[in-house]
Every structure is written in C-alpha cells, then in structure tokens.
Amino acid sequence: MRLPQIPFESRFCAALDGLRLHVRDYGSPLDPGIPVVCLAGLTRNSADFGPLASALASGLNGAKRRVLALDYRGRGLSEYDRDWKNYSLEIENSDLLSVLTALEIDAAIFIGTSRGGLHTMLLSATRPTVIRGAVLNDIGPVLEPRGMARIRGYVGRLPVPRSIPDAADLLKEMMSERFNGLSEADWEAYAKITFADAVGRIKSRYDQNLMKTLEGLDLEQPLPTLWPQFDGLRGVPLLILRGANSDLFSSKTLKEMTERHPGAEVHTVEGQGHAPLLLDQETITRICGFAAKIDGARA
C-alpha cells in the first residue's frame, strides 16, 4: 500500500557564500514531536523523502512533527555552484548548519541516506548538541570500493530519458540486480523522483559536474574512514538501515557499528541494495516508530 503524501512548503536559505539552498518544509514548528531533518544521497534530492516525510509529519505511529528535507547545493531546487570543488562534504556540512540556523532547528532527529549519513556523522563533530537521534540509511564509517566504483561509473553519465516509462526502464537496467524486490509501482515512483521536476519536466536533478568530485578517488587504496565521527553518535538513539543487497555498506561494518553502539537498532530492507528507497511501508513504519520512542524518552 502506497502511503499518501501531504503538501509541503518550499523554503530557501542562504549559504555562507550566498548560494541559495532549497528545503522542503513539512508540518509546523508548533507540532509536538521532535523535528526531523532528512539528508539525501550524493546525486539525490529532497523528493526522495516525500512518503517518509509525509508519514512523520502526519504522526504515523506517534506525534505530528515538523520535517525538513534539504537539497544540497547543485541538487534539486538548490542553486548550482560555479566551482565544482565546492561540492564537498565540508562545505555541504556548513550549508546544513546554515539551514538549521535559518529555520531555527536547535534539536532534531537526522535521517541520512548514504552521503546524508556521512553528514549526520560529521554533525557529531560540528554541532553535536543538535542531534537527538539518527537514522543511517545504508551507510557506515567504511565505504566499500566496489560500491564506490559503481557510483563513479554512472554519476554524470546517464542519458536523460524521454518519459517516465523510459526513465523506469533505465533505472531497471542499472539497478534491478540489486533491487530485485521492487514492484512496477516502485520503479515508476523512483523514476519520477529521479527525473521529473516540480512541474513534471523530464531532466537531470543534479549538476553533472558532481562527477568531477569522484574522478580523483584512488579505489586501489583504502578509503578514509569515519569511525571517530560515528563514535560521536554513541550517546544518541540510533537506527541503522541496510539494504540486503548493498555493495557500499558491508555486513562486517554493520557488525562493528553495533558493537561500538550496543543500543543501536538494525533494520534490513530485503530485496534492495544501496541505498534503500524509503518508499516501502514497513521501513517507513519502522522509522516513524523509532522517532516516536525518542519523543517518549524526552517526555
């Protein structure tokens, strides 16, 4: 069953360098639940969180709450940067801090898919007091080279499809081996999120220059890890999602994460790889229940 989506307000905030950033704002600051901030993957955008944000804001399994979903610079409706070198974790994390300040978020639950999870871990160093809880969607402190090689192989290189059915076929061709649990409705929904803008035009939803940020990666050498930043989440409730077919987030890394954070909850999304789409009711319900427990602990 597809959960209904609710309206949101588009807000725009200025980064420290003046670049304009877009945020979907669901719910109200007056809602009783702890706010949620949703952070997307490398080339993804705020539309990824439509069904989940709607469920959280509507109070599925708990209180109504405000939910913000951010478009990083160069993605979605945020302004593109003239200098591709600014598409870095450091600058994007600074952008996130600017958004939190502008929208008066002093405490929130963070839901980070892939790159968004890296930003959540980095927040444990840049603004730890803002994190009331965290959901890491198919991401950990260790990135598997095989998954990074696959991502580098398609970023900035995909053709723009002519229609949503063409887009769904393209995504199936790329992803069906790892996402063998999706229905036709799932593929169509994912195609719309990936390639259709607010008025339905088919286009790329990110700056193609993002590919340049990956060109210098030496995948023959171990990639930097974020264990100290992950350890910074040890004092907050944590839910870790893993796609059963993920090639970026290994079961070995997941095991070490749960050993370092013994209270962490784990949810495996069957039939999906990197990164779970957050469209299925089971996963959405699990995340909403997790947020409600954090509300209860605060009461």
Position 267 scores a pLDDT of 98
> What CATH number is given for 9-143+224-298 in this structure?
3.40.50.1820
Tell me how long the chain is: 299
For residue 2, the model assigns a pLDDT of: 65
Rounded Cα gap, residues 264 and 196, in angstroms: 36
Instruction: Say what the pLDDT of residue 198 is.
Output: 73
Q: Are 38 and 70 in contact (CB under 8 A)?
A: yes
- Give the angle subtended at the CA of 74 by the CAs of 69 and 80, to the nearest 5°: 130
Phi-psi region of 114 (alpha: psi -120 to 50; beta: other; left: phi over 0): left
Q: Give the start-to-end residue ranges of the domains of the chain.
A: 9-143+224-298
The answer to whether the CB of 67 falls within 8 A of the CB of 278 is no
Task: List pLDDT tens digits, range 133-170.
Answer: 999 999 999 999 999 999 999 998 888 899 999 999 99
What is the average pLDDT across 38-55? 97
Q: Give the pLDDT mean for 86-92.
A: 98
Q: What is the mean pLDDT of residues 103-131?
A: 97
Rounded to an integer, what distance in angstroms lies between the CA atom of residue 129 and that of residue 139?
22
Tokens 């160093």 belong to which residue? 125
> CA Rg, the chain, in Å?
18
Question: Residue 260: enclosing H or E segment and its boundaries?
Answer: helix 251-260
Percent of the chain's residues with pLDDT above 90: 90
- Quote the CA–CA distance of 32 and 1 in Å, as a whole number: 27
pLDDT at 98: 98
In this structure, are residues 64 and 33 in contact, taking their beta carbons and an 8 Å threshold?
yes
pLDDT for res 297: 81
pLDDT at 231: 97
The model's pLDDT over 199-244, given as tens digits with 9 standing for 90+, comes to: 778 988 999 999 999 998 888 888 899 999 999 999 999 999 999 9
Checking if the pLDDT of 1 tops 60, the result is no
Q: Tell me if 70 sits within 8 A of 46, measured CB to CB.
A: yes
Distance (Å, whole) CA 58 – CA 47: 17
Q: Quick check: 121 and 230 in contact, CB under 8 A?
A: yes
Give the integer Cα–Cα distance in Å for 260 and 112: 19
Give the mean pLDDT of the chain: 95
Give the contacts of 67 (CB within 8 A, at least 6 positions apart): 24, 25, 26, 27, 35, 36, 37, 38, 49, 53, 56, 57
